[in-house]
Amino acid sequence: MAYHPQSNGMVERWHRSLKTVLRCRATTTREWTEALLTVLLGLRTSFKEDIKASAAELVLGTTLRISGEYFVSKETIGYPQMFVEKFKEYMKAIRLVPTAHHVRIKPFIYKDLDDSTHVFVRVDKSRSPLDQPYERSFPVITKINQSVFRINFKGTAQNINIDRLKSAFLEATQPELTPGPSEPADEQQQLPRLPKVTFAA
């Protein structure tokens, strides 16, 4: 499958949050690696409104002690077995929350894309301002579904999403006309003879 960041939006969104926090910490820390542990701790202990819990609570069953938390709760678990049983019941009661799609952007699709025999493929990698946004045209092998095409991409078959495709209109090639066998002279059509006109002197 060709590169398509929308197919794994949850990871891409988490990476975006991670990079944003690291940029904010860059004003006080020279190296981003020095702030990475603190940033990861904050993201894992942050409360998520969709699931009503944090990532650390789902994995460990309890909250983590973050920086600045000097006092420990006096409530202690008397029996580890009781904690394990309660934790099992809690994990069984967890239900999958559907992924929230906050963006309602309708992608632009070319009208002639379904009937196209060749398509241009958009370059999603980092490029200079003078580079072409699309690569040369590639032949379409088949249409897998409404959003994925199988294309002969540089000699290999690849599945590419239609968000990266653009219809390619190629110049129609005219078939070469081969000269037929020459007809005999007697069978060739003879031109009619016109009457000779003379003028008096």
Residue 84 lies in a domain: yes
pLDDT tens by residue, 78-135: 666 777 788 788 778 777 777 776 667 776 777 888 888 889 998 888 878 888 888 8
No. of helices (H) and no. of strands (E), the chain: 4, 5
Clarify whether residues 12 and 87 are in a common domain: yes
Same domain, residue pair 86 and 142: no
Residue 67 belongs to a domain: yes
Residues 76 and 140 in one domain: no
Which residue range forms the structural domain that includes residue 84? 7-93
pLDDT in tens, the chain (201 residues): 566 666 677 778 888 888 888 888 776 666 777 788 888 888 888 888 877 888 888 888 777 777 666 555 666 556 667 777 887 887 787 777 777 766 677 767 778 888 888 899 988 888 788 888 888 889 999 988 888 899 998 888 999 888 888 888 877 666 666 665 655 555 556 666 767 766 665
CATH code: domain of residue 148: 2.30.30
Domain assignment present for 110: no
pTM: 0.41
Buried residues in 58-76 as b, exposed as e (16+ CB within 10 A): eeeeeeeeeeeeeeeeeee
How many CA atoms are closer than 13 Å to the CA of 33, on its beta-carbon side?
Answer: 0
Number of structural domains found in the chain: 2
Q: Are 128 and 119 in contact (CB under 8 A)?
A: no
